[in-house]
Amino acid sequence: MWRLILVFIFFTCVSLNTSAQLNAPKYANEFLAIGVGARAAAMGNAQVAIVSDVTSGYWNPAGLLNQTNDYNGVLQHAEYFSGIAKYDYAAFSMPIDSVSALSFSIIRFGIDDIPDTRFLYDASGAVNYDNVRFFSAADYGFFTSYARKIPVLGGLNVGGSFKIIHRKAGQFATGWGFGLDVGAQYELKKWKLGAMFRDITGTFTAWSQNTDSLKTVYAQTGNVIPSTTLEVALPRLIVGVGRKFNYKKFGILPTLDLVVTFDGKRNTLVKSGFASLDPSIGLEISYASIAFLRAGVKNYQQLKNFDGSTYPVVEPTFGLGFKYKAISLDYALTSVGVQTESLYTHVFSLMVNLDKKDE
């Protein structure tokens, strides 16, 4: 029964893609594709099958059922483009009972203190820097996630995340949106399998523009005042597999995610007008479940030379982790892009695991 439902959802979303392609911008709400948690960032964002902590609310809500503590919380901070853009994440999760779990998450990606130079010149035509104002452009994502075991299907775990999106560009424009993600995890002979359908219903964001504040500038520059007020992020499917191998005190965990997008041809490993496929590979080596060394590869692209020829590139990721009792501290080194002179980003996350007896 569940398999039939999943197949139905899949083909429904594909059909929505066909009819909505012309009205849905590519890379809509792309700030939600950056990922959360330094562990995930260090492993190339390959998490759908193996995630089992509070970050499951983002990666795959079904993973909340594998949480081993009563309470799980995480804080993350990262800065992109040499500190110009700030990325922050916080989440909390807890089991409801033996077969269900709940989590709440918030993401903020923003650029603050952007100068507004529209009033740089005073009435006499002189430059007056005191007239420069500042504003922020920020995107917010609020997630409420729920997961439940399906014992009759051999231990299948399923979950969903309802998300509210708020986007703001100073006083010039604001957007509110909502969407739904659904995911599943299943373990088969020590192999961990996972699937995540982001924006399964399409994530709709309605924009409201303050055109009065920009009308004069648009007229002077010859630009057209925006009229589109609704933006739709089309579904994307992520399937993953992973398995942990143990040898004495060492653990080796390789994992692979395949991201399938339906918003037109992208610069990925496999691409077509119908769908594009982008693989992510991660590896975690642990010692006594205390120290962790991580690496990954993601974001395969074909870049052009000046002579028109192309060459393949990938984005490598690295990281370290340390866990002591209830505290986990993780670090990742990633890059903004795959160009030769990439800007590297340092990602830090702090996770706390507590049990009721510790209160």
pLDDT digits (tens, 9 = 90+) for 52-64: 999 999 999 999 9
pLDDT above 50 for 111: yes
**Ranges 129-143, 218-232, 283-297, most confident:** 283-297
Whole-number pLDDT of residue 3: 43
State pLDDT tens for residues 208-244. Answer: 887 776 666 666 666 666 666 788 888 999 999 999 9
Higher pLDDT, 154 or 2: 154
**2-358: CATH architecture:** Beta Barrel (2.40)
Residue 187, CA distances (Å) to 155, 190, 192, 240, 355 in order:
8, 6, 5, 12, 25
Contact 333, 318 (CB under 8 A): yes
- What pTM does this model have? 0.84
State pLDDT tens for residues 1-30. Answer: 344 334 334 434 444 443 333 346 667 788
Residue 196, CA distances (Å) to 44, 199, 262, 313 in order:
16, 10, 14, 26
Whole-number pLDDT of residue 358: 54
State pLDDT tens for residues 119-134. Answer: 777 777 788 887 888 8
Mean pLDDT of the chain: 85
Query: CA-CA distance, 211 to 46, in Å (whole number)?
Result: 42
Give which of 226, 264, 236 is closest to 25, Cα–Cα: 264
Residue 47, SS3 per DSSP = coil
Give which of 163, 29, 48, 49 is closest to 109, Cα–Cα: 29
Whole-number pLDDT of residue 213: 65
Domain borders along the chain are: 2-358
